[in-house]
Amino acid sequence: MENFINNWLEELIVQRHYSEHTINSYRRDVMDFKKFLLEHEGEDFSMDILKTLKISDFRSWFSHRISRGLTARSNVRALSSVKSFFNYLAQRNLISLKIINAVRRPKLSQLLPKPLEEETILRFLNVDFFFDSDVDWITHRDRALFSLLYCCGLRINEALNIKAKEVDVEMKILGKGKKERMIMLLPMILERIKFYICSCPYNLNDGFLFVGLRGKRLHASFVDNRLQKLRMLFNLPDHASAHAFRHSFATHMLQHGADLRSIQELLGHESLSSTQIYTDVDDYNLLKIYKNFHPLEKS
């Protein structure tokens, strides 16, 4: 069975161009299901067992995950991972999909993205320094990175995968599923990036744009960890994260009159439905304005 799992993941890498992060998540979910069957059902992960699974087995797995503190959203992703593996096996006529296709996805509450206030984010991007213990080039790096995330609505890994030699007014970004899209850098952002490059003590010409103290590529976990500390220093809201810059970009663009289709292209969303959630955010902001400024509310 381990060979089947490895071959399935290899197919996702080669044919679907899934990222390393996605592949690790898929493997972790399938191995979690395997462990559940062994520990709670007393059955090893074999083809014979997969053929005899019932809907109740999946429900028990979901309940067990919830008892461990995992969310319904996490269960939806885990089911998707296991379904992908089952599809791989079914394509080779090894199992039937009848049972797993009958398993209902756990219900999700609609979670609206949480942008930062426009005034808050602009003030944050223009501070003199983030940590007073940092050397100057680190401050220039962080300002360039955070400004880029907000300027272009990039995912954090999209930004961290940029090579220094690729920096230009117009750039190609490699997004999810190896999908390319064009972004444009505003003059102020381009200036901040170039200022960082000039101040960086490392030669970035042949490597990644954003590096750490030792000259190695930054990782998303490091950036979010750094932002967690900055939240306290600058009194930022709890949801301030690298991804919140992307949400803020989309929300503020919509509020300033950008059309939804353009925002979809800029964000690199596959379908418009993924972008439409930002109209709900804008409706929520509209209700806040109504409540705060209506004469009857003030009286």
Considering its fold, how many domains does the chain have in total? 2
Q: Is residue 9 part of a domain?
A: yes
pLDDT at residue 285 in the model: 55
Q: Which of 155, 192, 247, 252 is catalytic?
A: 155
Q: Using one digit for the tens of pLDDT, what is the confidence trace for 182-211?
A: 989 999 999 999 999 999 999 998 899 999
Number of separate helices (H) and strands (E) present in the chain: 16, 2
Residue 111 predicted with pLDDT over 70: no
Based on the fold, state whether residues 122 and 263 are members of the same structural domain.
Answer: yes
pLDDT at 86: 94
pLDDT band at 259 (very low <50, low <70, confident <90, very high): confident
Query: Residue 268: its pLDDT value, please?
Result: 85
Has residue 115 got a pLDDT over 70?
A: yes
Residue 269 a catalytic site member: yes
The answer to whether the CB of 242 falls within 8 A of the CB of 217 is no
288: confidence class by pLDDT, cuts 50, 70, 90? low
In a domain, 109, yes or no: no
Tell whether 177 and 282 lie within a shared domain: yes
153 with 253, same domain?
yes
What average pLDDT does this structure show over 126-150?
Answer: 94
243 is catalytic: yes
* CATH number, residue 27: 1.10.150.130
Q: Which pTM value belongs to this model? A: 0.63
Active site residue 27: no
pLDDT for 281: 59
Residue where one domain finishes, among candidates 102, 126, 156: 102
Options 77, 217, 226, 243, the catalytic residue: 243
Query: What digits encode the pLDDT tens for the residues 154-170?
Result: 999 999 999 999 999 99
Distance (Å, whole) CA 220 – CA 217: 10
Q: Please indicate whether residue 278 is annotated as part of the active site.
A: yes
Instruction: Decide: 254 and 244 in contact? Cβ < 8 Å.
Output: no
* pLDDT tens by residue, 2-24: 899 999 999 998 888 787 888 99
DSSP state of 158: H
Which domain, by its residues, includes 81? 2-102
pLDDT band with cut points at 50, 70 and 90 for residue 266? confident
Residues 140, 247, 252, 269: which is the catalytic one? 269
What are the tens digits of pLDDT across the range 32-66?
A: 999 999 887 677 778 888 998 999 999 999 999 99
Q: Which residues pair with 180 in a beta bridge?
A: 174
Determine, yes or no, domain membership for 298. no
**CATH number assigned to the domain comprising residue 185:** 1.10.443.10
Contact 125, 146 (CB under 8 A): yes
Does 268 lie in the same domain as 144?
yes
Q: What percent of the chain has pLDDT over 90?
A: 53
pLDDT averaged over the chain? 86
pLDDT tens-place string over residues 144-157: 999 999 999 999 99
Q: Which of 34, 65, 246, 252 is catalytic?
A: 246
Intra-chain end-to-end CA distance of the chain, in Å: 69
127 and 89 within one domain: no
> Is 210 contained in some domain?
yes
Out of 26, 150, 196, 278, which one is annotated catalytic? 278
110 located within any domain: no
Which whole number is the average pLDDT over 224-238? 90
Q: Is 176 a catalytic residue?
A: yes
Residues 248 and 150 in one domain: yes
- From the list 27, 83, 114, 176, the catalytic residue is 176
